[in-house]
Amino acid sequence: MKKFPIPHVIIRNCIIFIMRVVVQRVRNAEVSVGGKLISRIGKGALIFLGVGKSDTTQDADYLADKVLRLRMFEDEAGKMNLSLFNIGAEALVVSQFTLYGDCRKGRRPSFDKAAAPQEAERLYSYFINCMRGYGVKVEEGRFRAMMDVSLVNDGPVTFILESR
């Protein structure tokens, strides 16, 4: 029997940061800033988005498509076979740099892997526009604001997705 080599990649001294989202299936969700309601959705997904230092528009494209097509809603048989896109559900996207909080050392999280605010905001807006480009109703939080996020989790159903 002929043996074939196992393909592999060796990366030395290279750290790759990835865009992250936490997606929660919700019955409804809303964001307030300073006690004032700024956005609200009905049935759909609450998406917390974290942007890493080396993230690109390709990462945002990939995750927007993945979230929109993720089969997280039940069909008539009770199986998770339907996506946001399939059922015309809404999305609320909230920027959350704390998804890059590294808690492995000490007691204070390190945010060294998070993108700089200007770049993070650019990719946050790009991600939202990607989702809107599919014709989905997308609401958003306020970038770099202290927000009160309220939701009624449906399930609960929660997924963590990463690019690359």
Those residues with Cβ within 8 angstroms of residue 93's Cβ, 6 or more apart along the chain or in another chain: 47, 49, 124, 127, 128, 131, 138, 139, 140, 141
Cite the active site residues.
96-98
Distance CA 150, CA 32 (A): 8
The CB-based long-range contact list for 75-82 (8 Å cut-off, 24+ gap) reads: 80/157
Closest CA to 159 of 27, 83, 97, 70: 70
For the chain, the distance separating the N- and C-terminal CA atoms, rounded to the nearest angstrom, is 35
